[in-house]
Amino acid sequence: MVDRPEVALDELYREVVLDHHRRPRGRTPLPRVDARAHGLNPVCGDEIHLHLSLDGDRITGVEVQGRGCAICTASGSMMAEVIPGHTEVEATAFAEVFRNVMHGKVVPPDVDMGDLEALEGVKKFPVRVKCALLPWVTLVDALRAWRNGATEGTATTETEEANP
């Protein structure tokens, strides 16, 4: 009997995604909201209300509300776990790396994707890529709005396509 580790890995990844879907992180309302954005993925119907708190340019809290499919919810949950503690510039760069990975590029050796690795297989399904990217498109938009002194950003996955 030949061992097939790639199958076991698939199972593991599925478990990681399902765990984030069942118990999404970042659902606790933030005591203070410094940046926000509303994100929409019309293809799937995913909708996100993203709140951020910042201390200077460092993100101290991420709150993700809304309704999404398993992929979108898991991706938002992973974002809520990985982004706090990073600066606005670092978070934007991380979002860019994840977007590149979803579009087929390899993960740079110096980047630790954390649980987001579990979503890498999604890149084979272009329609689901939008689901995985929605939280990140919304994050970038919230940070852009914050930088520009706007009260709220509005992101859609069409925005994502328009800016390759």
Residue from 131, 137, 145, 155 in contact with Zn ion (CB under 5 A): 131
In the complex, least distance from residue 73 CB atom to Zn ion, rounded to whole angstroms: 8
Separation of alpha carbons 144 and 156, rounded Å: 14
- How many other CB atoms are found less than 10 A from the CB of residue 147? 12
Separation of alpha carbons 71 and 111, rounded Å: 21
Q: Is 70 in the site for Zn ion (CB under 5 A)?
A: no
CB-nearer residue toward Zn ion: 70 or 97: 70
Q: Is 160 in the site for Zn ion (CB under 5 A)?
A: no
- Exposed e or buried b per residue across 106-139, where buried means at least 16 C-beta atoms within 10 angstroms of its C-beta: eeeeeeebebbebbbebeeeeebbbbbbbbbbbb
Q: Is 17 in the site for Zn ion (CB under 5 A)?
A: no
CB-nearer residue toward Zn ion: 62 or 71: 71
Stretch that binds Zn ion, among 8-16, 45-53, 80-88, 151-159 (CB under 5 A): 45-53
- The binding site for Zn ion (CB under 5 A) comprises 44, 46, 69, 72, 131
